[in-house]
Amino acid sequence: MTSPIRKIYFGVTDRRQMFRLFDRHARRPDRWQKDDSALYAGEWFEIAQDQHDYMLDILPPLWMRGDMFAMREFLTGSVTSVFYNLHINGAMRFFHAYCDLSDPRSPYAMREAIALRERWPVKAMTREERLEHIWSATHDDYRGYAGEGFSPKHRGKRTVFVHSQPGTRFQLLESLSDAQISEKLPVQLRHLPALAAA
C-alpha cells in the first residue's frame, strides 16, 4: 500500500521541533510490533538551513543526488529520512521527508509533491493538513490513541484532548468539527482559506 504524501506541520521548525516531528508517532500502541512503514512514509515538513546542514554532518549520507540526500539509518523497514534544498518562488528552502526507498522513485515523487504544494498561489490549508498540524503541535500529554472508552472500530485511532460540556475529554482527531479545529490551530493559521485536497 502506498502512503499518501502529506504536509504534517506549517512553518519552519527549530531543532527541538524537528527532532520531535521525526517520531511524532512514538506513543502509538504496539510500537514496533508490526510494519509501521505506512505510518511514516510520505510525511514531510519544512526545516531551517542550519537543521539541514546539521543533519548532513551527523553521518555520511546513504546517498546524495543534487538537491537531496538520504540518511543512512532507516527508521523502519525501508523508510528513511530524505532532506531537500529546493529553490521555490525565488527562495532556497529546506525540507525533511520520510521516503520508502523500496520504491526508487519515491524521493523524486516527494520532491515534486513538495515543490507543487509550496507553489500554491494562495496560502491555504486543506482539512487534512489542519488535522496533521494539530497532531504535530499538540503536546504528548494532550494527544493519544483511542482505547477501551471508544468503540472497537475506532481503537488505535489518534485522539486529542478537547474542552466540552461538561468537562474535558479525548476525542478522535478525525472527528473534530471546524470550530474545534480553528480553536486548536495557532492564531496565524486559523483564518487561512480551506481548500479541498488535490
**Structural domain harbouring 176:** 125-195
Q: How confident is the model at residue 195 (pLDDT cuts 50, 70, 90)?
A: low
**One-letter amino acid for residue 130 of the chain:** R
Please state, in angstroms and rounded to a whole number, the distance separating the CA atoms of residues 81 and 73.
8
Report yes or no on 143 lying in a domain: yes
Tell me what pLDDT residue 23 has. 84
Greatest CA separation found in the chain?
56
Report yes or no on 14 lying in a domain: yes
Q: Assess whether 65 and 136 both reside in one domain.
A: no
* Mean pLDDT confidence for 96-102: 94
Q: Residue 193: pLDDT above 70?
A: no
Q: Residue 26: pLDDT above 80?
A: no
Q: How many domains does the chain have?
A: 2
Which residues touch 170 (CB under 8 Å, ≥6 apart)?
144, 146, 149, 159, 160, 161, 162
**One-letter amino acid for residue 53 of the chain:** D
Grid cell in block for residue 29: 500502541
Report yes or no on 172 lying in a domain: yes
Q: Assess whether 136 and 114 both reside in one domain.
A: no
Q: Give, for 195, the enclosing helix (H) or strand (E).
A: strand 194-195
Q: Assess whether 78 and 157 both reside in one domain.
A: no
Q: Assess whether 100 and 82 both reside in one domain.
A: yes
* Closest alpha carbon to 155 in 167, 143, 147: 147
Tell me what pLDDT residue 97 has. 96
Flag the least confident range among 18-22, 80-84, 106-110, 189-193: 189-193
**Strand locations in 19-135 (E):** 43-47, 63-65, 68-76, 79-88, 91-100, 125-126
Domain termination residue (choose one: 97, 118, 139): 118
Q: For a pLDDT cut of 70, what percent of the chain falls above it?
A: 90
Q: Assess whether 108 and 18 both reside in one domain.
A: yes
Q: Assess whether 172 and 82 both reside in one domain.
A: no
